[in-house]
Amino acid sequence: MTEISTVARLAEPLKFAYWVPNVSGGLVVSTIEQRTGWDFDYNKKLAQIAENSGFEYALTQTRYAASYGADKQHEATSFSLALLAATERLKVIAAVHPGMWHPGVLAKFIITADHISNGRAAVNIVSGWLKAEFENFGLEWLEHDERYVRTEEFIKVLRGLWTEQEYSQSGKYYNITDFTLNPAPVDVPGRAHPEIFFGGNSTAAQATAGRVADWYFSNGKDLEGFKENIAGVVAAAGETQRGTEGALSAPKFGLNGFVIARDSEKEARETLREIVAKAHKPAVQGFRDAVQEAGASTKDGKGMWADSSFEDLVQYNDGFKTQLIGTPEQIAERIVSYKKIGVNLFLTGYLHFQEEVAAFGQDILPIVRELEADLARKNGLELDLSGTPVAQQVAA
């Protein structure tokens, strides 16, 4: 592997994000009790709890039509902006589909959000898998790998308009001529522009992320599975000379995981069994059929959900595969084992968001930091916690 996984990275603390529950039904497609609301008031309080619990980011979902039991949805960019306005330090990542937006309109929207939030706006570019959402809107549904051709152009337009004056780009999907967006995004030290996250698992997704994204986000994976993804992204990044002077900085890696922290491992495993036993079978099956448009439709058959079992799909971003299930100590150890292979950020989901985000900050995060400090020391480094949010005493 290249310099991306060098020892120096071990001095950088892991970052934590949570899924914004801006769609109904919680994060698992199950009738098990989920004390999670999808309305704004619930989410506003959750965001405030999260930023006081050591979380640096929140990620919204973009969904226009019902799927996986989420029959009501709040729009991602407006919801993200409202959460930014309701918080002080949290960075909010708005999910967007290139096929639904013109990149210039989105670039302008995010600049305004960035000014309102003093430099905390970010995007997650998702290429899409729910065919009906596009077709029933009368939009073209591109074939799988072609979606990534458009996505790559889209990201280049965003970055160009955020960093250059009189920007021009001509391509297959977008033609921009001598465009200057005023104002520019907020000037934040260490950040070239609002961060560009990117979600996808297929070969085309990894290659695109490697070439143009700041952050590569993956569905839940075991250690071996995520090593493969990292290798795919790093290989594409290497071809573009990223991470070398004057070029785009090296890509960073975020991984989804569903957290079930309980006093004993037995209790945590029992909760997982209950989630799966109470799965909403028709909704999971319907989701399984719809996601055939994702990686499974490609030549090599690799990609998101391509190798997921029924049980995996009950958490619709494969969050059980990461195995953040057990006591706080076990979960912290598991998290740090992923850091060793190159993960920079964990994207987390829960049954009872407000309560469990607060508990994560109080019970798990301190152990993670201790383990990270040990790991750094063993490699002759010191964990640099300056600039990292710390958990405060919060009441859920």
Residues that bind ligand FMN (CB under 6 A): 61-63, 95, 124, 126-130, 199-202, 205, 217-219, 256, 294-295, 303-304, 317, 347
- Tell the smallest beta-carbon distance from residue 266 to ligand FMN (Å): 30
Q: Which is nearer to ligand FMN, 49 or 207 (CB)?
A: 207
- Tell the smallest beta-carbon distance from residue 202 to ligand FMN (Å): 3
Q: Rounded CA gap, 350 and 277, in Å?
A: 17
- Tell the smallest beta-carbon distance from residue 297 to ligand FMN (Å): 8
Q: Which is nearer to ligand FMN, 15 or 369 (CB)?
A: 15
- Tell the smallest beta-carbon distance from residue 396 to ligand FMN (Å): 25
Q: Which token pair is 112? A: 């305004």
Q: Rounded CA gap, 175 and 246, in Å?
A: 25
Q: Which is nearer to ligand FMN, 52 or 73 (CB)?
A: 73
The CA-atom distances, in angstroms, between 125 and each of 71, 98, 153, 372, 391 are 22, 7, 12, 30, 29
Q: Which token pair is 75? A: 């729009």
- Tell the smallest beta-carbon distance from residue 298 to ligand FMN (Å): 7
- Stated length of the chain: 396
- Tell the smallest beta-carbon distance from residue 68 to ligand FMN (Å): 11
- Tell the smallest beta-carbon distance from residue 309 to ligand FMN (Å): 17
Q: 255: which strand partners?
A: 218, 346
- Tell the smallest beta-carbon distance from residue 185 to ligand FMN (Å): 22
Q: Which is nearer to ligand FMN, 196 or 294 (CB)?
A: 294
| CB-neighbour burial class of residue 178 (10 A; exposed 0-12, middle 13-18, buried 19+) | exposed
Q: Which is nearer to ligand FMN, 162 or 253 (CB)?
A: 253
The CA-atom distances, in angstroms, between 145 and each of 51, 135, 290, 293, 300 are 37, 18, 17, 11, 11
**Single-letter residue type at 63:** R
The position carrying tokens 């967006």 is 181
Q: Which token pair is 164? A: 């250059």
Q: Which is nearer to ligand FMN, 73 or 330 (CB)?
A: 73
- Tell the smallest beta-carbon distance from residue 393 to ligand FMN (Å): 30
Q: Do residues 332 and 297 lie in contact, with contact meaning Cβ atoms separated by under 8 Å? A: no
Q: Which is nearer to ligand FMN, 52 or 127 (CB)?
A: 127
Q: Which residue has the CB atom at the shortest distance from ligand FMN?
A: 199
Q: Which token pair is 290? A: 């719809």
Q: Is 392 left (phi over 0), alpha (psi -120 to 50) or beta?
A: beta
Q: H-helix or E-strand containing 132? A: helix 131-135
Q: Do residues 131 and 293 lie in contact, with contact meaning Cβ atoms separated by under 8 Å? A: yes
Q: Which is nearer to ligand FMN, 167 or 217 (CB)?
A: 217
> DSSP letters along 54-75, please?
T--EEE----SS-BTTB--B--
Contacts (Cβ under 8 Å, ≥6 apart) of 245: none
Angle at 64 between CA 63 and CA 65, to 5 degrees: 100
Q: Which is nearer to ligand FMN, 101 or 179 (CB)?
A: 101
